[in-house]
Structure 1
């Protein structure tokens, strides 16, 4: 499977899951729960990620946690949305790697 087909399948899987969530829970407009209380975790996740990659030991876990905690530290909806898009993109990239490994097994 090529890169474009793999991404399309993953995004279709995500859409199916979102549709299932809406079917179960309905549309939910919950409080964001983000803010400055996560700044320390975001800073630490960034440091851990940088150190891991400096040592040649970086993983998807490092990158994903950095993106998630950066999002959790945001209060302004515009940068929050941008951080969540980045986290979502890392998740898709992580799934792509899993799928490629499965295809090559």
Structure 2
């Protein structure tokens, strides 16, 4: 269907699922443009709290995907610089891809 652009296991299926969802969104809402709305209080505080919770969970041996994704999303919400925000959103997408790959590896695909 697509030329080979990615080699990480599971990322192609993730990208195809995201592409299909984007097509549904475009069909329903059209091309959208909104302000970022990031980099404001209390999101900056939330990012610090999420980062500390993730670190504590890792140190305590109970780190899970929710901790990791919450930290990445909170960091994105706290970022006001568009270049840094984009980098944070790429990290959010990468964590989502990793979490989905983990779910798929358990045989619980939907």
Give your verdict on TM over 0.5.
Answer: yes
Counterpart residue number, 2:18? 14
- Residue 31 of structure 1, CA deviation: 1.2
In structure 2, C-alpha distance between the alignment counterparts of 1:34 and 1:75, rounded to whole Å: 6
In structure 1, C-alpha distance between the alignment counterparts of 2:8 and 2:47, rounded to whole Å: 32
Q: Does 1:96 align with 2:95?
A: no
In structure 1, C-alpha distance between the alignment counterparts of 2:58 and 2:9, rounded to whole Å: 29
Q: Which structure's residues are more often helix, by fraction?
A: 1
Q: Does 1:46 align with 2:51?
A: yes
Q: Does 1:29 align with 2:33?
A: yes
1:50-89 aligned at under 5 Å gives the runs 50-89=55-94
Task: Give the TM-score of the pair, scaled to structure 2.
Answer: 0.87
Structure 2 unpaired stretches of 5+: 1-6
Structure 1 unpaired stretches of 5+: none
Task: Give the TM-score of the pair, scaled to structure 1.
Answer: 0.91
